[in-house]
Structure 1
């Protein structure tokens, strides 16, 4: 864990921390290259399992010139407070963390979520938190329990036998599809391998409990869902989903829009960061105008 923390501390110069409860700090990176006289929108980016604020680094050039960007380390990742393997981690807890952080930052805040971060963002949107200005989902499984639950025991075994990097390597094709080069796939596996095994296992154990949200109709903030349109090429641990399935649940969110992206991947926030960031910026500026 110490080596993990040192890795991020050495690489970052703009990390801030908020103590949101006794013994619980949430770290975040602020990127702001806006004009000094501007009043830019605030955008918060929430990452997936075995990631950290660095997962959104490629989004920064597009977003940070026009927005103040906050890239969060979810609990247990990056420089946020650790999680232990057998902690009873829940989406509610992770959402509470972000709600408390948002109170410190001040609203309104435009939220982007991918993977685990999308689950957290959806929970907050269903609560109707007043500070959430818009919601963008860039890669989300609406029922992680249904889609991934059957693999959790296998994945826990992979982490125990091969470490987080070994698990990331084995599952990377199902996450990234054919959208990345071999060099990029290796980079992502090594990067995800920095994540603490305790946190990753706690998150994996949480997945079977995550069913399709029951309150999507309660979401009131403007919402867009970015979905990959890809050929049917199933493989090991394939996490991709059809546009029809995404449209089915997206249509439950009042007034939401679906944006189709030509991509052979599930984790489009990683495989197509420039496209996703541009789509997000356009949505934020259109809603804010």
Structure 2
């Protein structure tokens, strides 16, 4: 089911996809999947068959993405404002217990919600996360803005795709993701670049109380110019600050493992959620 909801508190309209193939007599928990920059709910299509039989899967389009409200010129985005949108969506849908999954930008939003200790958040899974986007990516933002100016979103997506996906996808897969991301407005992508520049390592990771799982690649990333994959040592460093957290190592060389390894990531997530609900 595809729907749009006006979130009065944040003054925007969010589109979301609900996938529910659970038995009608069961009170199936909700799982919310939060996507990355220049993506939408469709980024998690490969996850849905693994989750929607047991859970009610909600896939929002973040503000400025997919079918949600478009950004206006010079409108800004922040992780906090995107988290406000999601929090208001959960409130208006009257969600009581939600297992949240975040990838890339969605991981930043999910971490923000976890640090707020929102009462409906039952667990957190991160599949592709940079704990400080500013530290990891700011060195490239000048080049990325130039690519955006000269070649549009498609040119930027194409140039950065190898550093995002590693060697996991065939050329047809890289082409599909390039075209898919190119559907996003340049206004949104530029606002996301500004968000990246402002997004430092969270200060309140110790305040996260929900069980947390981080799925991370262990193989060296590509030698391409825009390799975005963080080191395992870096992930272990900040994950040690989260009280109830575990690291799951995935045999992959891509930063965007939610896209390159959807079946494995979704299976690991379903297993983790089951542990929290058994």
Instruction: Provide the TM-score with structure 1 as the length reference.
Output: 0.93
What is residue 82 of structure 1 aligned with on the other side?
70
Matched-pair contact (CA < 8 Å) for 1:84–1:202: no
Matched-pair contact (CA < 8 Å) for 2:163–2:225: yes
The answer to whether residue 266 in structure 2 is matched with residue 284 in structure 1 is: no
The answer to whether residue 190 in structure 2 is matched with residue 205 in structure 1 is: no
The answer to whether residue 21 in structure 2 is matched with residue 15 in structure 1 is: no
The C-alpha deviation readout for 1:157-179, integer Å capped at 9, x for no partner, is 11111111110000000000111
The answer to whether residue 192 in structure 2 is matched with residue 192 in structure 1 is: no
What is residue 171 of structure 1 aligned with on the other side?
160
Match 2:228 to one of 239, 250, 262: 239
Deviation at 1:86, TM superposition (A): 1.7
Matched-pair contact (CA < 8 Å) for 1:58–1:274: yes
Matched-pair contact (CA < 8 Å) for 2:221–2:253: no
CA distance in 2, matches of 1:57, 1:85: 30
CA distance in 2, matches of 1:176, 1:19: 34
Deviation at 1:232, TM superposition (A): 5.2
Match 1:226 to one of 215, 237, 248: 215
What is residue 117 of structure 2 aligned with on the other side?
128
RMSD: 1.1
The answer to whether residue 35 in structure 2 is matched with residue 69 in structure 1 is: no
CA distance in 1, matches of 2:76, 2:154: 23
Deviation at 1:234, TM superposition (A): 2.6
CA distance in 2, matches of 1:120, 1:84: 21
Match 2:37 to one of 40, 46, 49: 49
CA distance in 2, matches of 1:85, 1:128: 33
What is residue 141 of structure 1 aligned with on the other side?
130
Deviation at 1:100, TM superposition (A): 0.3
Match 1:24 to one of 12, 37, 61: 12
SS at match of 1:43: strand
Deviation at 1:41, TM superposition (A): 1.1
What is residue 34 of structure 1 aligned with on the other side?
22
The C-alpha deviation readout for 1:113-167, integer Å capped at 9, x for no partner, is 0000000010110111111000000000000000001111211111111111110
CA distance in 2, matches of 1:288, 1:160: 48
CA distance in 1, matches of 2:89, 2:131: 25
List runs of 5+ in structure 2 lacking aligned partners: none
Matched-pair contact (CA < 8 Å) for 2:163–2:222: no
List runs of 5+ in structure 1 lacking aligned partners: 1-13
CA distance in 1, matches of 2:224, 2:66: 30
Match 1:162 to one of 145, 151, 161: 151
Instruction: Provide the TM-score with structure 2 as the length reference.
Output: 0.97
With 95-104 and 79-88 compared, the bigger mean Cα shift is at: 79-88
The C-alpha deviation readout for 1:42-96, integer Å capped at 9, x for no partner, is 0000000000000000101001111100011000011111113421211110010
CA distance in 2, matches of 1:118, 1:283: 17
With 84-93 and 31-40 compared, the bigger mean Cα shift is at: 84-93
The C-alpha deviation readout for 1:206-261, integer Å capped at 9, x for no partner, is 11111111100000011100000113543211101111111111111001010000
CA distance in 2, matches of 1:38, 1:262: 35
Matched-pair contact (CA < 8 Å) for 1:85–1:201: no
